[in-house]
């Protein structure tokens, strides 16, 4: 472990006369992580069920849903940028005992994301066919994907608001409210997906489009619950409009968030390019990739949970001027994540074929899913390192280096190797194998940066 760095620079966050709680984190890494892990497991289970339901319509339907979701995830980059600043600034303020500032940051983040959501969703809806056509899939699949994108994008506003409020609550240490509101959202999602895809419960049978509509309505329901509680001052971090939109606060949010936005653009854009390369090999490899990711998501979500816990703990520790505690939190989150994701990844690898056959009845797709799970399952420990330490660095407000590391690994290694393999005409299995080199590079860079400790002195002022 790196030695503690010099004392943090004095923060210019506004303070109140009487702190609302003692400075520093009030919960352990595990206490912060397990609700986030459980919430994400529920979300992954719903995604698993959704793919199973859509999969009954055939491989083209799965390809359309995978394409639509990937385009939709790209639009989330804008909101993740703002929430990166939200995490760092709310956790720092909360760790310093300044509840009023945490509430002002949250309010500013909600306003910014709400406005951006409206502007982002319009071009996505208008140009949905062109976006879906990037992957050069069959015309029928592109048409279904475009419909999926339009319907899901219509609910972007509600997704953005729920993302901000959930992020702010977790940064303040409230991990239970996002858990139970997420559970309600997921139950609604499953009910509506089954109803709208198959035409059950008196609902129209809409096929792939129904899956998008169901997800959008579920997002809206969960978001409305959070908005009502937030405006009614029922959440840990309440609504505080006065001085929330001060130019200095908005500047800090955007300064921290800009590298995170670029990271997400690189991340999602890299995934689009990778999927585009895979699509050159036909529908079967493309569908196998989408289903394989969904199956392994049961392991990924553990990493996401520890990333959230590390962000909160590190930010609150730095807010309380405890860089040593922040460092210890990051390493603890990493090793816990590595242990659990290694076990889960191994279990999924062992059950790869029956899981694949449960998802879709297509021998070639099943074969490729199994290969993909073997490859990505083998790097679960490396993914855990990136998740936990990346979360710790973002909680400190150090968003520039995660951007550089994603660019180096995803673009410099994965995309380059995948393109070379495709150009050489090698089998698609070698394209999948490019993932291994990518995660070796990224996890190594994150460990090196975190061990040096310079992220501790990142200023959010």
- Shortest CA distance to 129 belongs to which of 175, 211, 205, 68? 68
What's the DSSP call for residue 457?
G
The secondary structure element, H or E, covering residue 371 is helix 363-377
Q: Over range 95-121, report the average pLDDT.
A: 88
CA 31 – CA 316 distance, rounded (Å): 14
pLDDT for position 20: 42
pLDDT higher than 50, residue 99:
yes
| Furthest CA-CA distance within the chain | 67
CA 234 – CA 206 distance, rounded (Å): 38
Overall pTM surpassing 0.85 (yes/no):
no
* Cα atoms in the Cβ-side hemisphere of radius 13 Å centred on 19: 12
Per the structure block, which two tokens stand in for 399?
Answer: 């968003």
CA 251 – CA 247 distance, rounded (Å): 6
- Shortest CA distance to 442 belongs to which of 395, 418, 419, 408? 408
pLDDT for position 16: 35
CB 220 within 8 A of CB 213: no
98 pLDDT tier (thresholds 50, 70, 90): confident
Alpha helices in 243-362 (DSSP H): 247-279, 283-319, 323-350, 352-359
Q: What percentage of the chain carries pLDDT values higher than 90? A: 27
pLDDT tens, residue by residue, 219-228? 899 999 999 9
Q: Helix, strand, or coil here: 93? A: helix
pLDDT for position 5: 34
CA 390 – CA 387 distance, rounded (Å): 5
Q: Over range 90-98, report the average pLDDT.
A: 84
pLDDT for position 3: 37
Report residue 365: phi and psi, to 5°: -65, -45
The secondary structure element, H or E, covering residue 119 is helix 99-126
* Placement of tokens 């500032």 in the chain: 101
Per the structure block, which two tokens stand in for 407?
Answer: 């660019």
pLDDT higher than 70, residue 178:
yes
pLDDT higher than 60, residue 351:
yes
423 pLDDT tier (thresholds 50, 70, 90): very high
Q: What is the DSSP string of 194-252?
A: HHHHHT-TT----THHHHHHHHHHHHHHHHHHHHHHHHTT-SSS----TTTT-HHHHHH
In Å, how far are 306, 370, 378, 405 from 85, measured between CA atoms?
Answer: 18, 39, 33, 19
- Comparing 14 with 184, the larger pLDDT belongs to 184
Contacts of 450 (CB under 8 A, 6+ apart): 2, 327, 330, 331, 389, 392, 393
Task: Report helix, strand and coil shares of the chain as percent, to nearest 5.
Answer: 80, 0, 20
The CA-based angle 338-297-123, given to 5 degrees, is: 125
- Comparing 138 with 371, the larger pLDDT belongs to 371
What's the DSSP call for residue 4?
P
Q: Over range 328-354, report the average pLDDT.
A: 93
Q: Helix, strand, or coil here: 392? A: helix
Per the structure block, which two tokens stand in for 424?
Answer: 């050489």
Q: Taking all residues of the chain, what is their mean pLDDT, rounded to a whole number?
A: 83
Tell me the helices (H) and strands (E) count for the chain, helix number first.
18, 0
Domain boundaries, the chain: 29-455
CB 298 within 8 A of CB 344: yes
pLDDT for position 342: 95
CA 138 – CA 125 distance, rounded (Å): 20
Alpha helices in 127-155 (DSSP H): 128-132, 139-153
pLDDT for position 353: 93
What's the DSSP call for residue 454?
G
């Amino acid at each position: 472990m790196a030695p503690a760095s010099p004392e943090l620079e004095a923060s210019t966050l506004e303070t109140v006369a009487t702190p609302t709680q003692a400075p520093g984190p009030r919960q352990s890494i595990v206490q912060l992580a397990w609700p986030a892990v459980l919430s994400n497991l529920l979300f992954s289970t719903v995604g698993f069920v959704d793919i199973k339901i859509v999969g009954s319509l055939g491989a083209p339907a799965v390809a359309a849903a995978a394409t639509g979701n990937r385009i939709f995830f790209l639009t989330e980059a804008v909101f993740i940028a703002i929430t990166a600043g939200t995490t760092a600034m709310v956790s720092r303020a909360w760790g310093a005992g300044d509840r009023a500032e945490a509430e002002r940051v949250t309010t500013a983040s909600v306003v910014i994301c709400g406005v951006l959501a409206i502007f982002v969703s319009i071009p996505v809806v208008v140009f949905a066919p062109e976006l879906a056509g990037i992957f050069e899939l069959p015309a029928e699949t592109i048409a279904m994907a475009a419909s999926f994108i339009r319907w899901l994008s219509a609910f972007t506003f509600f997704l953005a608001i729920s993302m901000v409020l959930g992020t702010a609550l977790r940064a303040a240490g409230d991990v239970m409210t996002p858990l139970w509101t997420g559970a309600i959202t997921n139950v609604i999602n499953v009910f509506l997906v089954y109803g709208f895809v198959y035409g059950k419960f008196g609902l129209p049978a809409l096929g792939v489009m129904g899956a998008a509509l169901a997800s959008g309505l579920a997002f809206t329901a969960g978001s409305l619950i959070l908005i009502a509680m937030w405006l009614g001052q029922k959440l840990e971090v309440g609504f505080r409009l006065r001085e929330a939109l001060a130019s200095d606060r908005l500047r800090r949010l955007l300064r921290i968030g800009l590298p995170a936005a670029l990271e997400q653009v690189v991340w999602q854009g890299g995934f689009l390019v990778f999927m585009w390369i895979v699509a050159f090999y036909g529908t079967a490899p493309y569908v196998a990739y989408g289903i394989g990711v969904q199956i392994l998501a049961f392991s990924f979500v553990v990493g996401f949970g520890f990333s959230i816990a590390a962000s909160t703990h590190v930010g609150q520790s730095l807010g309380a001027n405890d860089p040593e505690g922040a460092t210890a939190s990051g390493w603890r989150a990493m090793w816990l994540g590595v242990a659990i994701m290694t076990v889960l990844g191994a279990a999924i690898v062992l059950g790869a074929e029956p899981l694949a056959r449960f998802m879709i009845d297509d021998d070639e797709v099943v074969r490729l899913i199994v290969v993909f799970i073997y490859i990505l399952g083998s790097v679960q420990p490396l993914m855990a390192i990136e998740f936990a330490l990346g979360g710790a660095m973002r909680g400190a407000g150090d968003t520039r280096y995660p951007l550089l590391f994603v660019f180096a690994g995803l673009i410099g290694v994965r995309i380059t190797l995948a393109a070379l393999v495709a150009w050489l005409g090698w089998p698609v299995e070698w394209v999948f194998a490019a993932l291994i080199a990518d995660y070796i590079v990224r996890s190594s860079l994150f460990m090196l940066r975190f061990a040096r400790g310079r992220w501790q002195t990142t200023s959010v002022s």
